[in-house]
Amino acid sequence: MSPRVSETWAVCSTLALVSLVVWLVVRSIAGGPTTPASDGQLSQAPPPGPPPVVQVASDPESESHQAPDSVVTDDPSQVPESQTYSVVQSLRAHSGLRSYANPSEATPMNNFLWGVYPYLCILLFFLVPIARMIFRPFSWSTRASGLFGRRVLGAASLLLHWGLVLLLVGHVVALIGGLLGSGASIAFFYWIGLLGGLMVLLGSIIALYRRIVSPQVRAISQSEDYIIHVILITLVCLALYQVLFHRIFGVAYTAGSWAASLWTLSPQPELMGSASLLTKLHVLLALTFFAYFPFTKLVHFWTFPVNYFVRPKLSMRTVRYRFQRRWEFALRSDKSWLVYGLGAVAGVFLISAVSLGLAKPPEGSGVDSTTELVKTRTGTWLTGYPLYVSQCARCHGLSGQGDGPGAHSPTFAALPRDFVYRGDHFGARYHFVSTENGIASDDDLYRTIAEGLGDFSGMPAFPDLTNDQILSLIDVLNGFRADAPNPGRLIHVGTPPPSTPQSITRGAQLYLDNCVSCHGADGTGGTQQVFSWRELAPEVPQEIIPANLALGRIKQITTPEDIFRRITVGIPGAYGEANLMLKFDQLSVADRWALVHYVTENILP
C-alpha cells in the first residue's frame, strides 16, 4: 500500500469513527425529558410552564416567625386555593431530570459546544498521533531551527517550555482538587497558573518575534508555526485578563465538573451554561488547540518527555528503534513514549470521572452530604452539594459564606450572598423576596437561580439546569440556613388594574415623595447612600448603588406585578438590619399600583 493511499485510509477511518461517535452523542443528548411514573417506569415529563410566580404557603408550625397576615388583595378570602400551593412544591411532586427550568434556553448550540464538540477534539487528540506514527513516522519532527537566531532562542525556549509545564501541573491539580471541593488546590492553581501563564506569554511572544525577524528561521517556517503561537498567546491572554482584571477565579470548579462528565460518557453541557463569556472562549479555544495539536510539530511532546531531564545534550536514536514497525513498551522508541503519554493523559481524566460527585460539604454546615450522582436512562446528572461546588462555589465559597475566590470581582454589582445563618449574624438575608416577613421562600430561591439577577449583577442565570438540579441546590441553600426563621406568607398581587391618567398623575407625586432620593427624578440615580450589612473591611460596609431605572437595570423585575411586589416588601439586607430599599406596605393598594403605572410608563425604557 502506497504512503498516499495509507494516509487517505487513515484520514477516512478517523472521520468515520468521529462521525459515529458524534451521532451516538447527539442521539443521547436529544433524549426526551423523563420523569418517574406511578408504575416506576420512566415517562415523558410535561412541559414546564412560564417562570414561577411566587406563591408561598404559610407553615402553621412557623407562625411564631412570621408577621401578621399581610396578603395584598382587596378581598383575601377570594385568593384561589391553588395559589397556596407553591411552584417548588409542584415541581417536587412531579418533575423530571430533563425538564428544563426554561426549555427555550436549553439550546442545541449549547449542547453541541459542550456535549458534542469536545468529543470531536478528544478523538482527534488521541487518534491522529497514532495514525500519524503508523503511516507517517518521518513527519514526527520538530523541524529544529536552533542554528539560527540563537541570541533569543534560549530565553524563549526556557520561558515557553517551563511555563507550559507549570500550566500543565496547575490544571491537573485544579481539575482533581476542584472536583473534590478543595479550596487549597484552587489557590495553588491561581499562583502557579499566574506564573506559568506569564512565562508562556512572554516566551511565545519572543519566539514569534524571532520567527518573524530572522530571515533563515522565516524561510523554513510553515503556517502551523505561526498559528501555534497565535493560539497560545490568545489562550493565555484570555486567562490572564480574566484573572488580573476581571478577578474572576475558581472557574476550575465549573469547568472541572463539566470536563469530568465527558469521561463518564454522559456529558452534562448544562454545567458550562453559567460560565462567563471569556471562560467559554478560553475553553473552546483550548479544545480547538487540542484538536489541532496532533497535526503539528507539537507531537514531539510525546517523544522523550521525561528524558529531557537526564539525557545527554545530543541524543542519538537509531533507525532500528525510532522507526520500527512493531510496537514496543520498553521506552526505547517514539511509539513507546506515545503510548505511555496518551495513556497518562487518559488516566488523569478517568480519575476525574471517578471523582465527579465526591465533593463533601464542610462539617456542621447543615447540608446533606449523602447526595450522589443521579442516574437515569438519559444520563447521569450532578445534583446536591457537588453541583453547588460546580456552579456556586467560585463566588459564594465552599462553605456558603460569600467568600469564593471570585467574590471580589469588579464586574459584580455587589459582593456574593452569604448563605449561612449564624444567629447573631446577618447571613442568609436574601435581597429579592416575595414574602411579607422578608425571608426568602423556596420559590424565591428557585427564581433567582433559574433567571439570575441580570448580566450587570454578576449573578448569572442557570436556565439549562434541570428542575431537579435546581431543587437540589435549594436544598443545599436551606441546609446553610437550617436555623433561620421560616418564610412568611406570600405577597399576593391579584389582577393589575388598568393604567389611567389619574393613576399616573398620582404615581408621579408618590414617586417624588418616596423614590427621588435614591433613584433620582429621572431614574438615573439620586444622592442617598445605601449600605449593605456585608463589610469590605472592618467597620467599612459595602455601598449598594440603587438601580438605574432609566436604563432598566433592575434585578429580577420583568412584569408590573414584580414591581408591585418590590414596592410592597422592599429589599431586605441593609446595614443594621434595615432595608436596602424601604418597603411601602403602608401605602394603599391603589397608590402602589399608581406608582407602578408611573414607573413603567414614564421612567423605565
DSSP string, 25-48: HHHHHTPPPEEE-TTSSEEEPPPP
Residue 516 belongs to what H/E stretch? helix 516-519
Count other C-beta atoms under 10 Å from residue 143's C-beta: 12
Residue 485 lies in a domain: no
At residue 109, the pLDDT reads 80
What is the distance between the alpha carbons of residues 197 and 210, in angstroms, rounded to a whole number? 20
pLDDT, tens digit (0-9, with 9 covering 90-100), for 392-432: 999 999 999 888 998 888 888 888 888 988 776 666 788 89
At residue 64, the pLDDT reads 35
pLDDT, tens digit (0-9, with 9 covering 90-100), for 85-113: 466 766 666 555 555 566 555 577 888 88
Q: Are residues 308 and 245 in the same domain?
A: yes
Domain that holds residue 223: 116-353
Residues 456, 552: contact at Cβ < 8 Å? no
- Grid cell digits, residue 138: 518521518
- Grid cell digits, residue 71: 396578603
Total domains present in the chain:
3
Place of cell 525510532: 322
Q: Which of 320, 353, 386 is the last residue of a domain?
A: 353
What is the distance between the alpha carbons of residues 466 and 222, in angstroms, rounded to a whole number? 47
Residues 64, 484: contact at Cβ < 8 Å? no
In the three-class reduction of DSSP (H, G, I as helix; E, B as strand; rest coil), residue 381 is classed as strand
At residue 51, the pLDDT reads 38
At residue 588, the pLDDT reads 92
At residue 44, the pLDDT reads 35
Spell out a b/e string for 558-573, using b for 16 or more CB atoms within 10 Å of the CB, else e.
eebbbbbbbbbbbbbb
- CA–CA–CA angle 465, 470, 476 (5° rounding): 135
Using alpha carbons, select from 358, 444, 441, 364 the residue that is nearest to residue 399.
364
Q: Are residues 305 and 248 in the same domain?
A: yes
At residue 371, the pLDDT reads 61
Residue 515 lies in a domain: yes
Count other C-beta atoms under 10 Å from residue 324's C-beta: 16
Residues 531, 538: contact at Cβ < 8 Å? no
Q: Are residues 120 and 93 in the same domain?
A: no
- The DSSP symbol for 603 reads I
Residue type, 537: A
Residue 311 lies in a domain: yes
Residue type, 154: G
- Grid cell digits, residue 246: 476581571
Residues 439, 427: contact at Cβ < 8 Å? no
Strands 379-381 and 530-537: unpaired
What is the distance between the alpha carbons of residues 139 and 398, in angstroms, rounded to a whole number? 48
Count how many Cα atoms sit within 13 Å of the Cα of residue 590 in the half-sphere of its side chain.
Answer: 5
Residues 95, 35: contact at Cβ < 8 Å? yes
- CA–CA–CA angle 447, 557, 245 (5° rounding): 80
Residues 6 or more apart whose Cβ sits within 8 Å of residue 142: 297, 300
Using alpha carbons, select from 55, 131, 129, 136 the residue that is nearest to residue 88.
55
- CATH number of the domain enclosing 571: 1.10.760.10
Count other C-beta atoms under 10 Å from residue 192's C-beta: 19
Q: Are residues 202 and 320 in the same domain?
A: yes
Place of cell 433567571: 451
Nearest-Å Rg of the Cα atoms of the chain is: 29
Residues 407, 415: contact at Cβ < 8 Å? yes
Q: Are residues 126 and 174 in the same domain?
A: yes
Q: Are residues 100 and 163 in the same domain?
A: no
Q: Which of 446, 480, 514 is the last residue of a domain?
A: 480
Residues 488, 435: contact at Cβ < 8 Å? yes
The dihedral built from the CA positions of residue 246, 117, 265 and 28, taken in this order, carries a sign that is positive
At residue 577, the pLDDT reads 73
Residue 26 lies in a domain: no
Residues 500, 388: contact at Cβ < 8 Å? no
Averaged pLDDT score across all residues of the chain: 79
What is the distance between the alpha carbons of residues 340 and 42, in angstroms, rounded to a whole number? 43
Q: Are residues 86 and 230 in the same domain?
A: no
DSSP 469-496: HHHHHHHHHHHHTTTSPPP--B----SP
Residue 21 lies in a domain: no
At residue 283, the pLDDT reads 95
- The DSSP symbol for 325 reads S
What is the distance between the alpha carbons of residues 134 and 325, in angstroms, rounded to a whole number? 8
- CA–CA–CA angle 33, 86, 478 (5° rounding): 85
Q: Which of 448, 480, 512 is the last residue of a domain?
A: 480
Regions in the chain scoring below 50 on pLDDT: 4-5, 27, 29-85, 307, 310-311
At residue 59, the pLDDT reads 37
What is the distance between the alpha carbons of residues 361 and 141, in angstroms, rounded to a whole number? 49
What is the distance between the alpha carbons of residues 538 and 536, in angstroms, rounded to a whole number? 7
Residue 25 lies in a domain: no
Residues 460, 412: contact at Cβ < 8 Å? no
Spell out a b/e string for 234-267, using b for 16 or more CB atoms within 10 Å of the CB, else e.
ebbebbbebbeebebbbbbbbbbbbbbbbbbebb
Q: Are residues 174 and 131 in the same domain?
A: yes
Residue 347 lies in a domain: yes
What is the distance between the alpha carbons of residues 285 and 322, in angstroms, rounded to a whole number? 33
Q: Are residues 324 and 406 in the same domain?
A: no
Residue 53 lies in a domain: no
Residue type, 87: V
Q: Are residues 331 and 252 in the same domain?
A: yes
What is the distance between the alpha carbons of residues 92 and 52, in angstroms, rounded to a whole number? 14
Residue type, 369: S
At residue 378, the pLDDT reads 60
Q: At what angle do helices 252-262 and 384-391 cross, to 10 degrees?
A: 120
- CA–CA–CA angle 46, 50, 55 (5° rounding): 100
Q: Is 131 exposed, middle or buried (0-12, 13-18, 19+ CB in 10 A)?
A: middle
Q: Are residues 197 and 312 in the same domain?
A: yes
At residue 247, the pLDDT reads 85
Q: Are residues 97 and 226 in the same domain?
A: no
